[in-house]
């Protein structure tokens, strides 16, 4: 049994069965989320016998840290090997006072965006809620004890809206006061744009920030670089995003990976400004981060400025995403199941 599985019933039932009072569950939770325990032995205010019994019946960490890398800008990336051998990556980002984590939701990705490393080998499976929470806690343990996680971006490997059933319980824990206590406003779900599960999120009344990966101003171009667009289409995605905005009141974010000579021309910027007109939103432009083996190029500074100037003149609220962690391939679109080159810095699992 995985202790980080968010449904509380199994632990409560187990404690009862073993003759322990229910309040022990709260103590254990506090050890995990607040005190950042590395193992049962750390939980020093629990009776020794309980700690031993817990260790016999429960797993705390189901994944192993296979590699831990740190970039000069303070970004840290963990390559995790899951219990079944699957591999995922997750990232800790430092920016001023912000301590953000970028987490994965699937082993691989089925969306097939042509410029992204995560989907190069397709998808194996969805992560469990416990595996998603485990990433949060392993990354939190990289911080000194006086620092707290402030933001979560669900922008790692995988398509979050394809695994909502496991993502939402994990995010509930992230938001809960007895979990990580991070406000909904500071949690962003990034999606390729799947209208049906997006409407489900709207109907649930969630207040997370939503980021929709647009990448092209026309269906013709978008279908070339984001293959799922063939069945969804821009119009349906935009109207589903508008419904989410109407229900949640959260300003929408649209993401646009800028690929040299593909979607960075002046006419693309003009079309984009027209397409997004009239919305309360932020356009986050991400100059392409190179992925080994892919033929795409990052636009020149001139092309980037030209693109930005047209959007600003068109009244679009635009920001360029600062590249972080690219030295360790931890930047957007660079996360993959494993990295071909072995690194000497192998970190130990905390367990
Ligand atoms: N599947 C989700 C979340 C993962 S990707 C989504 O599509 O939104 C997070 C962001 O990084 C997306 O906007 C994605 O398009 C972008 N991205 C992917 N590959 C990239 C690359 N090589 N350079 C820059 N951004 C990239």
Ligand 1 atom nearest to CA at 215:
15
113 within ligand 1 shell (Cβ under 6 A):
yes
SS3 content of the chain, % helix, strand, coil (to 5): 35, 20, 45
Ligand 1 atom nearest to CA at 294:
22
Q: How far apart are CA 76 and CA 100, in angstroms?
A: 11
- The protein residue with its alpha carbon nearest to ligand 1, atom 13, reads 213
291 within ligand 1 shell (Cβ under 6 A):
yes
188 within ligand 1 shell (Cβ under 6 A):
no
Q: CATH second-level architecture of 9-57?
A: Orthogonal Bundle (1.10)
Active-site residue, from 102, 113, 175, 332: 332
Would residue 332 show up in a list of annotated catalytic residues for this protein? yes
Active-site residue, from 53, 89, 134, 159: 89
- The protein residue with its alpha carbon nearest to ligand 1, atom 4, reads 155
Q: Tokens representing 86?
A: 């699957």
Ligand 1 atom nearest to CA at 192:
7
Q: CATH second-level architecture of 64-328?
A: Alpha-Beta Barrel (3.20)
Which residues, 6 or more positions from 16, have their beta carbon under 8 angstroms from its beta carbon?
22
Res 49: pLDDT: 97
Measure 180 CA to ligand 1 centroid, in angstroms.
25
Res 347: pLDDT: 39
Distances (CA, A) of 46 to 30, 36, 141: 12, 15, 21
**Half-sphere exposure at residue 120, Cβ-oriented, CA atoms within 13 angstroms:** 15
Looking at the chain, list the stretches that DSSP marks H as alpha helix, in order from N- to C-terminal side: 9-17, 23-33, 48-57, 129-140, 164-175, 195-204, 219-225, 229-232, 234-248, 266-276, 301-313
Measure 21 CA to ligand 1 centroid, in angstroms.
46
- The protein residue with its alpha carbon nearest to ligand 1, atom 7, reads 192
Res 339: pLDDT: 56
65 within ligand 1 shell (Cβ under 6 A):
no
284 within ligand 1 shell (Cβ under 6 A):
no
Spans in the chain with pLDDT lower than 50 = 340-349, 351
Q: Tokens representing 81?
A: 């090997």
193 within ligand 1 shell (Cβ under 6 A):
no
Res 227: pLDDT: 97
285 within ligand 1 shell (Cβ under 6 A):
no
Ligand 1 atom nearest to CA at 190:
8
At 3 the three-state DSSP class reads coil
- The protein residue with its alpha carbon nearest to ligand 1, atom 2, reads 191
286 within ligand 1 shell (Cβ under 6 A):
yes
91 within ligand 1 shell (Cβ under 6 A):
no
Res 348: pLDDT: 40
Task: Render 90-114 in DSSP notation, one character per residue.
Answer: EEEEEETTEEEEE---EEE-SS--T
Q: How far apart are CA 201 and CA 208, in angstroms?
A: 9
User: Which of 213, 207, 205, 116 has the alpha carbon at shortest distance from 160?
Assistant: 213
Sketch the domain layout of the chain as residue ranges: 9-57, 64-328
């Amino acid at each position: 049994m995985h202790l980080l599985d968010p449904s509380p019933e199994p632990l409560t039932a187990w404690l009862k069965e073993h003759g322990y009072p229910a309040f022990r569950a709260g103590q254990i939770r506090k050890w995990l989320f607040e005190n950042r325990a590395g193992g049962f032995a750390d939980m020093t205010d629990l009776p020794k016998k309980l700690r031993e019994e817990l260790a016999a019946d429960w797993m705390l960490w189901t994944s192993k840290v296979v590699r831990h890398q740190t970039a000069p800008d303070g970004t840290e990336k963990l390559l995790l090997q899951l219990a079944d051998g699957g591999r995922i990556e997750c990232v800790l980002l430092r920016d001023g006072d912000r301590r953000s984590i970028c987490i994965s939701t699937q082993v691989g990705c089925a969306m097939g965006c042509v410029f992204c490393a995560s989907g190069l080998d397709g998808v194996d499976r969805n992560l469990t809620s416990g595996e998603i929470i485990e990433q949060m806690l392993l990354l939190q343990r990289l911080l000194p004890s006086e620092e707290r996680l402030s933001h979560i971006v669900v922008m790692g490997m995988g398509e979050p809206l394809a695994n909502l059933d496991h993502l939402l319980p994990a995010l509930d824990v992230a938001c809960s006061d007895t979990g990580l206590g991070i406000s909904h406003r500071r949690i962003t779900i990034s999606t390729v744009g799947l209208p049906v599960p997006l409407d489900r999120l709207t109907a649930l009344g969630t207040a997370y920030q939503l980021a929709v990966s647009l990448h092209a101003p026309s269906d013709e171009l978008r279908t070339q670089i984001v293959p799922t667009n063939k069945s969804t289409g821009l119009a349906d995605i935009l109207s589903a995003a508008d419904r989410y905005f109407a229900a949640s009141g959260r300003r929408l974010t649209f993401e646009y990976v800028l690929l040299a000579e593909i979607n960075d021309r002046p006419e693309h910027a003009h079309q984009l400004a027209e397409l997004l007109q009239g919305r309360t939103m932020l356009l986050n432009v991400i100059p392409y981060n190179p992925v080994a083996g892919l033929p795409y190029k990052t636009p020149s500074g001139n092309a980037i400025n030209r693109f930005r100037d047209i959007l600003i003149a068109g009244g679009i609220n635009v920001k360029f995403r600062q590249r972080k962690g690219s030295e360790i391939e931890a930047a957007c679109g660079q996360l993959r199941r494993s990295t071909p080159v072995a690194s000497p810095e192998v970190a130990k699992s905390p367990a």
